[in-house]
Amino acid sequence: MATVASISYFKRYKMEAALGEQPCPRLPEGFAFAAWSHGLMEAHADVLFASFHREIDAQVFPSLGDRQGSLCLMIEMTRKRGFLAEATWLLLGPGGPCGTVQGMRERDGFGSIQNIGIAPEWRGRGLGEALLRQAFRGFQREGLTRARLEVTAQNDPAIRLYRRLGFRRAKTLYKAVPEWSGF
Ligand SMILES: CC(C)(COP(=O)(O)OP(=O)(O)OC[C@H]1O[C@@H](n2cnc3c(N)ncnc32)[C@H](O)[C@@H]1OP(=O)(O)O)[C@@H](O)C(=O)NCCC(=O)NCCS
């Protein structure tokens, strides 16, 4: 029988921003955005896995540490009522898909960023910022003027990116993650 061996608590920040005018994101040569379509489900899942499986969030959300789990996450998200195709983009690079962002509409009128990931070898070139701005423009096309996201407090690169784009901490949360034994 499976039992909970221990529980770890991860500090997370809920961050929010008003979406001002969003400049059209500029991508380096050889990169392009691909709009959401169901045919891209596996490509999004593969980039999710590549971006997250060695990162802190794979401990917080174990599905992100597993290719099949990442695919299940994508499928679940796209079936939810608030899923926003307009704010969900795949980033294509010279070697194939290298970034993903997914957006949802929350009931209180916020656009919510679900996951943003850039594959490790493509980081530090402004692609994360460009992909987020592309999602923000999608929120705006849907009439949403504010955005929200959650981030693990230890995730310094992501927090720096979000602060640069105007996000500020609105709430601190603790996510309990059980570790199972007896499987
Ligand atoms: C968070 C994440 C999406 C950022 O992606 P990224 O493409 O590296 O982001 P950017 O390139 O826009 O910004 C990263 C840094 O590169 C710098 N940069 C941007 N363009 C640059 C360029 N042309 N040359 C050199 N540096 C550049 C930025 O100033 C930034 O510097 P900082 O680390 O001092 O803040 C990426 O690290 C990631 O996928 N992490 C794992 C998944 C994750 O944790 N996602 C967030 C979950 S909440």
Domain CATH code at residue 105: 3.40.630.30
Would you say the CB of residue 118 lies under 6 angstroms from ligand 1? yes
Question: Atom 19 of ligand 1 has which residue's CA nearest to it?
Answer: 126
Distance CA 51, CA 91 (A): 12
The predicted model gives 133-160 an average pLDDT of 98
- Ligand 1 centroid from CA 71, angstroms: 24
The predicted model gives 98-124 an average pLDDT of 98
The predicted model gives 78-84 an average pLDDT of 97
- Whose tokens are 């489900």? That residue is 41
Question: Atom 17 of ligand 1 has which residue's CA nearest to it?
Answer: 124
Kindly indicate the confidence band of residue 182, based on its pLDDT and cuts at 50, 70 and 90: confident
Per the prediction, the chain carries an average pLDDT of 96
* pTM (two decimals): 0.96
What is the number of structural domains in the chain? Answer: 1
pLDDT digits (tens, 9 = 90+) for 115-135: 999 999 999 999 999 999 999
Would you say the CB of residue 124 lies under 6 angstroms from ligand 1? yes
Q: Give the C-alpha distances (Å, rounded to integers) separating 166 from 1, 77, 133, 139.
A: 47, 26, 11, 16
pLDDT surpasses 90 at 84: yes
Q: Please name which of 144, 33, 139, 23 lies closest in space to residue 84, comparing C-alpha atoms.
A: 139
Residues 114/77, Cβ–Cβ less than 8 Å: yes
- Ligand 1 centroid from CA 131, angstroms: 11
The predicted model gives 147-162 an average pLDDT of 98
Distance CA 8, CA 24 (A): 41
pLDDT at position 183 is 62
Q: By residue range, what is the domain housing residue 31?
A: 3-181
Distance CA 44, CA 54 (A): 17
**Structure tokens that stand for 151 in this block:** 């981030």
Amino acid code (one letter) for 162: Y
Residues 64/48, Cβ–Cβ less than 8 Å: yes
Distance CA 84, CA 102 (A): 8
